[in-house]
A and B are shown apart, each in its own frame.
Chain A
Amino acid sequence: KNEVEQSPQNLTAQEGEFITINCSYSVGISALHWLQQHPGGGIVSLFMLSSGKKKHGRLIATINIQEKHSSLHITASHPRDSAVYICAVNSGGSQGNLIFGKGTKLSVKP
């Protein structure tokens, strides 16, 4: 079993829906990252969290350290949000020594 598990693996939503992607991890961490990869594109860092909650535009990321769980929320989803969302954690190695989840493929239909 991977140390970082994401759910769901695939998600289809209608434009405007509120979306939640979950990430659970089984190791101690110093930080958790949410990343986005569009089809054929590179990876973009959305958030880096060590506690609490962060918001950027329509994206909100939360983390519960005690429960070893993080969520990524997208409000008022749009087709351009269609991408693979990846959760990754730093469990004490160098900053970029991350353990990655397999990703959640999101498709937002107009």
Chain B
Amino acid sequence: EAGVTQFPSHSVIEKGQTVTLRCDPISGHDNLYWYRRVMGKEIKFLLHFVKESKQDESGMPNNRFLAERTGGTYSTLKVQPAELEDSGVYFCASSQFGQGNEKLFFGSGTQLSVL
């Protein structure tokens, strides 16, 4: 069974450009999460989807970030326009829907560099 996949694995863009990151969760996983690690800092939660609905977007830094999960399958995270401070590693994770103690499965992350 395929794990959580993210692409691209690396993206280098210039300040002001737009970048779209994609996450494919494990098939059948209703929960999908986005996280970000900025260099030198701890990983931070961004948002949580249950199927196609945003359950919790309390971690989204500002309105330059737009996450979607149309059809409740894969998700995209768009940054528009990108700023230097957006550089970091963006992780995605998924889990089955249940009682809240389901195991999280993480992707390998997308390394975003904004120059």
Contacts and interface: CB of A to CB of B under 8 A. Distances in A.
**Which of under 10, 10 to 19, 20 to 34, or 35 or more describes the interface residues of B?**
20 to 34
Given A94-B48, A96-B33, A44 B106 contact: yes
A41 B3 CA distance: 13
Interface stretch (B11-19, B55-63, B67-75, B77-85): B55-63
Nearest to A2: B42
Given A42-B109, A43-B91, A96 B104 contact: yes
Contacts of B107: 42
B93 to A, nearest CB: 6
Given A30-B100, A86-B43, A102-B42, A97 B105 contact: no
**Which of under 10, 10 to 19, 20 to 34, or 35 or more describes the interface residues of A?**
20 to 34
Interface in A69-95: 86, 88, 93-95
20 contacts: A4-B42, A31-B101, A42-B4, A42-B106, A43-B91, A43-B93, A44-B106, A88-B43, A93-B58, A95-B102, A96-B31, A96-B33, A97-B56, A97-B58, A98-B45, A100-B42, A100-B43, A100-B44, A100-B45, A101-B42
Interface of B: 3-4, 31, 33, 35, 41-45, 48, 55-56, 58-59, 91, 93, 95, 100-109
